[in-house]
Chain A
Amino acid sequence: MRLLRAELTRLFTRRFTKLMLLAVVLALGIVGAVTASETQRPTPAEVQRAEASAAAAEAECERAEPDINAPPGAGFDCDRITSRDYLPYVLNFREQMPELLLVLAGLLALFGYLVGASVVGAEWSSGGMTNLLLWRPQRIRLLLGKLTAVAFGVFAVGAVLGVVWLAAIWLITWYRGVFGRLTEGFWASLGLDAARGMALALCVALVGAALASLGRRTAAALGVVVGYFVVWEIGTRLVMMVLRVVPDRYMISSYVGALLTKEYQLVDCPAPFDGDCQVSTIPWSSGLGVVAGLTLFMMVAAVWSFRRKDVA
């Protein structure tokens, strides 16, 4: 417990942590400000004009001749024309809060990765790890203490920011948007979204810390991510596309996407395209499984390495 307390103090005292926290708050502030400035609650007259315009457009759409060369199902669905298309942007809390929560989850994951990697990497490069081992010569406990502190810190930041972000969007909606129907089901769904976002941020932070411990410097964690995206997510994806293999199934980003957005669709269209694509989905549970498994693997590797290798 003493170790965890010291590590948490160290984590939140670090200038990099403060700067990253400031950056996240700033980014959220910009998103909030843009949302607040763009949203505009329509007047009854604007609603009436929009409904009339939508009705006219829909009638014209239905009168139009269908394109006989278009593949089946490729034609425009006239029912998709609504009055909202003719209104200025208005923030709908029910519809957009989950998306805005995704923004927070993404920023929190980035914050977690950088701070997690930095707090462990800097400890190695500054000699702090040696100092700590002279005080607490229990390597596994020491590293797990650091990882726990990183996870706890990211969770605390995420929880606070989540509440603040929810309150901010609520206020913006209160003044300039519409709430929609906020049922119990909506709140339960929003809670699950938040939990999945938090899980992703925690896993990403732990992976960052574990990679920094494996490479014994912050740059190692950053280099691995850059290398992974360049080599695998871009390079190998291109090769797979040439070989007509659906690359998304083999990309971590697909599973991250599934975890964040409830599911990720894998679309396999034949070439030449005949209008019949096979669609399969990666459910969020699979996404969580892959991300959590990867995190566990990295943590075990970091602990194994720390236990075996000399401290230079």
Chain B
Amino acid sequence: MSGVPGPVIEIEGLRKVYRGRRGARMALDGLDLMVEVGQVHGFLGPNGSGKTTTLRALLGLVRADAGVTRLFGRDVPKALPQVMPAVGAIVESPQFFGNFTARRTLRLLATVGGIRHNRVDAVLELVGLRDRAKERVRSYSLGMKQRLAVATALLKSPSLLILDEPANGLDPAGIREMRDLLRSLADQGVTVLLSSHILAEVQQVCDHVTIISRGRRVMSGPVVEVLSRFDKGDVQVRVTDLDKAAQLIADAGLPVRVLGDHMVVSDLADPAWITEALAKRKMYVSELTPLLPNLENVFLDLTGTAPTPDGHRQVDDAYRPPDDAALDILDPEPRPEVLVAPVDRPTAGDLEAAPATTAATTAATTDSPGATDDNTSTEDGPASQQDTAVPAQPTGPDAEPEASRTTDDKEASR
């Protein structure tokens, strides 16, 4: 199966409506997803965004109302009997027959799948359950059940591994082992689709990511590129005369926020400019740390699910992308209306010569869910933290600093 050219997973326009006594609920609303051979692909979304429904539809457990789903280039669920021998999957929380031992559980599945029983011991060893294999699953902890679930997925020696929250319930060592295992499988050419809420893990393990919200794709692409889209060039600076230094930098046209004993300077291409500019005025920098965006903050920004200080966010409050609004970084011609605008960051030379104009440029991204705001700021957490913003000199009518955009603004823009 792995020799099949083209994407391993293709989902186009997937739509699923759950109908119940209390009416219909749209779980998937034209979702697209593409996973190429050899990728370790993170599949992210807030609770209720449709991740598990997507996986269930892909695996034939739920019937989609519309859309195309393909595995290894073959339409599923029609071709599932042919492709499933190459697919190992965990969907949602692991559930097993409590009175069976782990070994018996796996042996029964191996019998169904026509797999040699010596493979059972191999996967039990792999997931760390070798010494507990004769115990009833009922006595297992959640983490051990999760390991067993991973074992069932690995039993087939799959070319494609679909894992829904595989780290759920695992202890730190288990999470580490899971990460190593996934890396090892990826090195062996296994394609992995990983749905998880442990975003730090996803960032470490996955090379590609798709983020969805309310049944639609919000963003997709290589993790590095997705993160780079949100790199504001922030730098954390500690210096003796903080207020004076902050004003100096703000006068140069750079957004600055003073946060307690340090400040954060944004839109800076070359941090050396700070040391140079401050040193000229006898202010010496004791710390200069680039603040890189992480997947968690990007996720919260994109899905509009960052905690708010004024209430409890509900699951249906997540960002709902408009039609055709997904940002696919792999797309050769990204849709301009949703692109995160490129940031013209000042270099040391630029800043000496003229004030920065970057705030205006960044603020032009207002319609993008990726537009950041301080309430969901990347490095400092939610807006409950009291920031002291040092305003940059206004440079034009569009120069609303991005820091001034609030969650309410974002809500209104929807």
Provide the bound-state CA to CA distance between A5 and B62, in Å: 27
Asked if B60 is at the interface (CB within 8 A of a chain A CB), the reply is: yes
- Contact A2-B60, Cβ < 8 Å, known A128-B95, A137-B77, A137-B84: no
Provide the bound-state CA to CA distance between A122 and B95, in Å: 11
Asked if A273 is at the interface (CB within 8 A of a chain B CB), the reply is: no
Task: Bits for B101-138, please: 1 = Cβ < 8 Å to A, else 0.
Answer: 00010001101111000000000000000000000000
Asked if B339 is at the interface (CB within 8 A of a chain A CB), the reply is: no
- Contact at A310–B56, with CB atoms within 8 Å? yes
- Say what secondary structure dominates the interface of chain B: loop
- Contact at B99–A2, with CB atoms within 8 Å? no
**Residue ID in chain B nearest A125 by CB atoms:** B95
- Contact at A127–B96, with CB atoms within 8 Å? yes
- Contact A135-B84, Cβ < 8 Å, known A311-B56, A311-B61, A311-B62: yes
Chain B residues with a Cβ closer than 8 Å to the other chain, count: 29
Q: How far is the CB of B166 from chain A (nearest CB, A)?
A: 14
Provide the bound-state CA to CA distance between A13 and B108, in Å: 11
- Contact at A126–B97, with CB atoms within 8 Å? yes
- Contact at B56–A135, with CB atoms within 8 Å? no
**Residue ID in chain B nearest A122 by CB atoms:** B97
Asked if B89 is at the interface (CB within 8 A of a chain A CB), the reply is: yes
**Residue ID in chain B nearest A134 by CB atoms:** B89
- Contact at A2–B95, with CB atoms within 8 Å? no
Contact of A133 among B60, B95, B97, B156 (CB under 8 A): B60
Segment 50-99 of B: residues with Cβ below 8 Å from A:
56, 59-63, 77, 80-81, 84, 87, 89, 91, 94-99
- Contact at B95–A126, with CB atoms within 8 Å? yes
- Contact at A9–B108, with CB atoms within 8 Å? yes
Q: How far is the CB of B21 from chain A (nearest CB, A)?
A: 15
Segment 1-28 of A: residues with Cβ below 8 Å from B:
2-3, 5-6, 9-10, 13-15
- Contact at B108–A6, with CB atoms within 8 Å? yes
- Contact at B81–A138, with CB atoms within 8 Å? yes
Task: Bits for A92-133, please: 1 = Cβ < 8 Å to B, else 0.
Answer: 000000000000000000000000000000110011101111
Asked if A136 is at the interface (CB within 8 A of a chain B CB), the reply is: yes
Contacts of A2 in B (CB 8 A): 111-114
Provide the bound-state CA to CA distance between A66 and B96, in Å: 74
Provide the bound-state CA to CA distance between A128 and B105, in Å: 10
- Contact at B96–A131, with CB atoms within 8 Å? yes
**Residue ID in chain B nearest A137 by CB atoms:** B80
| A to B contact number (C-beta, < 8 Å) | 73
Contacts of B156 in A (CB 8 A): 135
**Residue ID in chain A nearest B113 by CB atoms:** A135
- Contact at A9–B111, with CB atoms within 8 Å? yes
Segment 61-83 of A: residues with Cβ below 8 Å from B:
none
- Contact at A126–B98, with CB atoms within 8 Å? yes
- Contact at A14–B111, with CB atoms within 8 Å? no
Task: Bits for A275-312, please: 1 = Cβ < 8 Å to B, else 0.
Answer: 00000000000000000000000000000000010110
- Contact A13-B112, Cβ < 8 Å, known A126-B96, A310-B61, A311-B62: no
Contact of B91 among A126, A130, A137, A310 (CB under 8 A): A130
- Contact at B96–A133, with CB atoms within 8 Å? no
Q: How far is the CB of B57 from chain A (nearest CB, A)?
A: 9
Provide the bound-state CA to CA distance between A122 and B100, in Å: 12
Q: How far is the CB of B91 from chain A (nearest CB, A)?
A: 6
Contacts of A123 in B (CB 8 A): 97
Provide the bound-state CA to CA distance between A133 and B152, in Å: 13
**Residue ID in chain B nearest A145 by CB atoms:** B112
- Contact at B112–A3, with CB atoms within 8 Å? yes
**Residue ID in chain A nearest B111 by CB atoms:** A6
- Contact at A130–B61, with CB atoms within 8 Å? yes
Provide the bound-state CA to CA distance between A6 and B96, in Å: 15
- Contact at B104–A13, with CB atoms within 8 Å? yes
**Residue ID in chain B nearest A3 by CB atoms:** B112
Contacts of A122 in B (CB 8 A): 97
Contact of B99 among A15, A127, A135, A310 (CB under 8 A): A15
Q: How far is the CB of B96 from chain A (nearest CB, A)?
A: 6
Residue of A9, A128, A138 most packed against chain B (CB within 10 A): A128
Residues of chain A whose beta carbon lies under 8 Å from any beta carbon of chain B: 2-3, 5-6, 9-10, 13-15, 122-123, 126-128, 130-138, 308, 310-311
Residues of chain B whose beta carbon lies under 8 Å from any beta carbon of chain A: 56, 59-63, 77, 80-81, 84, 87, 89, 91, 94-100, 104, 108-109, 111-114, 152, 156
Can you name 13 A-B residue pairings with CB atoms under 8 Å?
A3-B112, A6-B109, A10-B97, A123-B97, A126-B96, A127-B94, A128-B97, A130-B91, A132-B109, A134-B59, A134-B89, A134-B152, A311-B61
In the complex, besides A128-B97, A133-B61, A311-B61, 9 extra interface pairs with C-beta distance below 8 angstroms are: A2-B112, A2-B113, A6-B108, A9-B111, A132-B109, A134-B89, A136-B84, A136-B113, A310-B63
